[in-house]
Chain A
Amino acid sequence: MWNYEKRLQYPVKITQTNPKLAQVIISQFGGPDGELSASMRYLSQRYTMPYKEVTGILTDIGTEELAHMEMICAIVYQLTKDLSAEEIERCGFDKYYVDHTLALWPQSAGGVPWSATTFQSKGDPVTDLHEDMAAEQKARTTYDNILRLVKDPEVADPIRFLREREIVHYQRFGESLRIVQDHLDSRNFYAFNPAFDLGK
Chain B
Amino acid sequence: MMADNRPCRRDLLHWINVVSFALNDTTLFLDTHPGDREALAFFDECQAKRNRALKEYAKYYGPLTIDTADASETDRWNWINEPWPWQEGGC
Contacts and interface: CB of A to CB of B under 8 A. Distances in A.
Interface of A: 3-12, 53, 56-57, 60-61, 64, 70, 73-74, 77-78, 168-169, 172, 175-176, 179
A7 B85 contact: yes
Would you call the interface of chain B mostly helix, strand, loop, or mixed?
A: helix
A189 to B, nearest CB: 18
B66 A3 contact: yes
A9 B34 contact: no
Interface in B42-91: 63-67, 79, 82, 84-86, 90-91
Given A9-B21, A11-B91, A53 B64 contact: no
Interface in B6-35: 13, 16-17, 20-21, 24-25, 27-29, 31-34
14 contacts: A3-B65, A3-B66, A3-B67, A4-B65, A6-B84, A7-B64, A7-B91, A9-B20, A9-B21, A10-B17, A57-B28, A57-B32, A74-B85, A175-B33
A57 B17 CA distance: 21
A8 B31 CA distance: 23
Given A6-B84, A53-B31, A57-B31, 19 more contacts: A4-B66, A6-B65, A6-B91, A7-B64, A7-B91, A8-B85, A8-B91, A9-B24, A10-B17, A57-B32, A60-B24, A60-B31, A61-B28, A64-B28, A70-B85, A172-B31, A175-B33, A176-B32, A179-B32
Contact of A5 (B29, B65, B86): B65
B86 A77 contact: yes
B1 to A, nearest CB: 22
A90 to B, nearest CB: 24
Contacts of B31: 53, 56-57, 60, 172
Contacts of B33: 175
A7 B16 contact: yes
B37 to A, nearest CB: 17
A168 to B, nearest CB: 7
A172 B32 contact: yes
A60 B85 contact: no
A7 B57 CA distance: 12
Contacts of A6: 63-65, 79, 82, 84-85, 91
